[in-house]
Structure 1
Amino acid sequence: MSNSYKELLAQREALEAQIQAARKQEVSDVVAKVRSLVADYGLTAEDIFTSKRTTKASVSAPKYRDPSTGKTWTGRGKPPDWIKGQNREDFAI
């Protein structure tokens, strides 16, 4: 098994050519199968390539404003220090 460096390079080139040919054939087969399935089921690119998110994080408008700093709060989550223990109606926007 004492192949020369040049022989090994030639073998590598031949093997890389075989790999490329096999990949090209397999990709062609897969593309044909996908096209057939798309046609059979009437799918669109949007059906295939977009995620189906059922919920989105909603952004709420602020309901309260700190008159001294101008900071706002939506009324969701933990209340900021500037409104804790106070009448929220005084800070309503």
Structure 2
Amino acid sequence: MTASYKELLKQREALEQQIKEAKQREMATAVAQVRELIAAYELTQEDVFPVGRAGRASSNAGVKVAPKYRDPATGQTWTGRGKPPKWIQDQDREKFAI
């Protein structure tokens, strides 16, 4: 026999409550284990979460770069990074090098 829509909703509510309770129990156990390990090995926050490349912005983010190419006709410049401007597209870049 198939369950009705209302019965299925009740089952889902019961399952969601069971999931919530199981997660809380397991998280409490995990936190206790982590605390034991931290205490046993005298770990610091930096030991567990080192500050590295992923933890901070790139060290050269926002740094101005000197232009490498110049359009002799207009004087516009381009650093060689990002999408090339129209005046240098499909051309030999050596003739525009600064």
Normalising to structure 2: TM-score of the pair? 0.52
Aligned to 2:15: 15
State the Cα deviation string for residues 2-32 of structure 1 (Å, max 9, x = none).
Answer: 1110000000000000000000000000000
Aligned to 1:45: 45
Task: Give 1:33 deviation, angstroms.
Answer: 0.1
**Separation in 2 of the partners of 1:28 and 1:4?**
36
Count how many residue pairs are aligned between Structure 1 and Structure 2.
61
4+ residue runs over 6 A deviation: none
Larger Rg belongs to: 1
In structure 1, what residue type is equivalent to 2:21? A
**Separation in 2 of the partners of 1:39 and 1:48?**
12
3-state SS of paired residue (1:26): helix
3-state SS of paired residue (1:25): helix
Unaligned runs of 5+ in 2: 54-58, 60-96
Unaligned runs of 5+ in 1: 58-80, 83-93
CA RMSD of aligned residues (A): 2.7
